[in-house]
């Protein structure tokens, strides 16, 4: 009977993580150490088991990742297309000339595209 209430008896974790802790330490284990405890993703606030957080980060839309083109920027996964796209900020994005539909075959990095348009705008508009 005493063992059912004794705070110094080792018991299995109530979350099923297979850890055995003293009953008196169970609350702390469940709140701070248990791999089966539910925690909030610090990027998107979705609730995930601690043990599954690493996998969640691989798919989390809000997770910060290095730019696909290695420009040095860190961008949220869901904003990467905006970062590297035509209206984005990535200096290493390869872009077609604005006048591709008019026959211009230039393709280059963002800063080269700006120079290309500046240097050729007179010829294109004539």
Same domain, 54 and 101: no
- pTM over cut 0.85: no
Domains in the chain, number: 3
The answer to whether residue 7 scores a pLDDT higher than 90 is yes
Same domain, 102 and 48: no
Same domain, 80 and 98: no
Same domain, 41 and 76: no
Q: Where are the beta strands (DSSP E) in 1-126?
A: 10-12, 20-22, 38-40, 47-49, 64-66, 74-76, 94-96, 107-109
Task: Give the residue among 103, 87, 86, 104 at the shortest CA–CA distance from 95.
Answer: 86
* CA gap 9, 5 in Å, rounded: 8
Mean pLDDT of 40-67: 97
Same domain, 43 and 86: no
Task: Give the residue among 74, 121, 88, 87 at the shortest CA–CA distance from 102.
Answer: 121
Structural domain boundaries, residue 126: 93-126
Same domain, 21 and 53: yes
Q: What is the pLDDT of residue 114?
A: 80
Same domain, 66 and 48: no
* CA gap 39, 55 in Å, rounded: 14
Which position has the higher pLDDT, 44 or 113? 44
């Amino acid at each position: 009977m005493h063992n059912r209430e004794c705070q110094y008896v080792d018991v299995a974790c109530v979350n099923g993580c297979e850890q055995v802790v003293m009953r008196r330490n169970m609350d702390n284990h469940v709140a701070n150490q248990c791999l089966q405890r539910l925690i909030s993703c610090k990027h998107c606030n979705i609730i995930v088991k601690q043990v599954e957080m690493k996998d969640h980060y691989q798919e989390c839309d809000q997770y910060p990742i290095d730019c696909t083109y290695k420009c040095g920027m860190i961008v949220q996964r869901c904003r990467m297309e905006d970062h590297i796209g035509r209206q984005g900020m990535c200096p290493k994005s390869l872009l077609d000339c604005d006048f591709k539909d008019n026959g211009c075959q230039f393709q280059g990095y963002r800063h080269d595209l700006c120079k290309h348009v500046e240097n050729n705008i007179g010829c294109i508009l004539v």
